[in-house]
């Protein structure tokens, strides 16, 4: 069943490839198991997505300049691969194919060669040494550093925002706010009384009358106390300061 599914997926790609290049890759079953995929001489610039149970891959005489990283990693059943006759450009983009060829020399029937750049033209891809890819490392490091710098900048901005937020909270706690309320509506009590029901108005009026009576009584008592102290004050002023006050 999985074999039929992978074959169906490949047939869908073959239909699309037919529209792009005019001819699809040929896929045929092998005995006792596996698939043979023939993509040779189809003017392909890129290899297609291959079925997982591909056993043989023939992709000679196309326009391949590189192989996408990871393309062959899941094809664990590969027993024969032919990539010769393609104009491979042996720059940093060919490093994945070089490493894969070094690990799978036994399955390569015709070793691919470089077409460019000039210093490595007609040289086998698998023969490229690590020194050839040395310039690729600084580019990767630079990209990593750029990514790290971006992360550091974002982290710094977040820290600044947190510090600003904490400072704002601290400032808010130390700030004193003064609220002044002015009495602008002198008729508020009257309007409130009119809005109440009659019995509520009577009760509120009675309470206000009691409060007014109590306040008046207290004021009167305070005035009486002052009147009782007045003779003593007058006598003290006369004896000590020789000041006489006459009432008219």
Same domain, 202 and 85: no
pLDDT, one tens digit per residue, over 63-81 is: 999 999 999 999 999 999 9
For the segment 190-213, the average pLDDT, to the nearest whole number, is 58
Q: For residue 219, what is the enclosing H or E element?
A: helix 198-241
Inform me whether the pLDDT recorded for 61 exceeds 90.
yes
For the segment 173-187, the average pLDDT, to the nearest whole number, is 53
Inform me whether the pLDDT recorded for 194 exceeds 60.
no
pLDDT band at 202 (very low <50, low <70, confident <90, very high): low
Whether 209 is covered by a domain: the verdict is yes
Same domain, 11 and 126: yes
Predicted pLDDT at 36: 94
Predicted pLDDT at 181: 46
pLDDT, one tens digit per residue, over 87-96 is: 999 999 999 9
What is the average pLDDT score of the chain? 76
Predicted pLDDT at 222: 64
Q: What tokens appear for 124 in the block?
A: 């086998």
Overall domain count for the chain:
2
CB within 8 Å of 96: residues ≥ 6 apart: 66, 67, 68, 69, 70
Q: Which of 83, 109, 135 is the last residue of a domain?
A: 135
Phi, psi angles (nearest 5°) of residue 110:
-135, 115
Whether 127 is covered by a domain: the verdict is yes
User: What's the whole-model pTM score?
Assistant: 0.50
CA angle 47–51–54, rounded 5-degree value: 90
């Amino acid at each position: 069943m999985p074999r039929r599914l992978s074959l169906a997926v490949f047939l869908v790609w073959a239909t699309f490839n037919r529209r792009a290049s005019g001819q699809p890759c040929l896929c045929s079953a092998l005995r006792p198991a596996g698939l043979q995929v023939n993509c040779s001489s189809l003017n392909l610039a890129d290899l297609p997505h291959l079925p997982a149970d591909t056993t043989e891959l023939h992709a000679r005489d196309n326009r391949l300049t590189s192989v996408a990283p990871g393309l062959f990693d899941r094809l664990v059943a590969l027993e024969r691969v032919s990539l010769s006759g393609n104009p491979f450009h042996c720059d940093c983009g060919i490093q994945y194919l070089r490493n894969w060829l070094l690990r799978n020399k036994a399955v390569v029937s015709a070793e691919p060669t470089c077409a460019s750049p000039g210093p490595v033209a007609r040289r086998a891809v698998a023969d490229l040494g690590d020194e050839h890819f040395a310039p690729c490392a600084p580019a990767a490091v630079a990209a990593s550093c750029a990514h790290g710098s971006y992360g550091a900048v974002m982290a710094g901005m977040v820290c600044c925002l947190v510090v600003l937020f904490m400072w704002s909270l601290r400032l808010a706690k130390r700030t004193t706010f003064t609220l002044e309320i002015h009495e602008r509506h002198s008729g508020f009590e009257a309007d409130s009384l009119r809005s109440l029901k009659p019995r509520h108005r009577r009760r509120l009026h009675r309470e206000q009358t009691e409060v007014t009576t109590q306040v008046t009584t207290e004021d009167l008592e305070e005035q009486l106390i002052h009147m009782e102290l007045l003779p003593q004050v007058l006598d003290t002023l006369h004896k000590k300061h020789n000041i006489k006050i006459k009432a008219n």
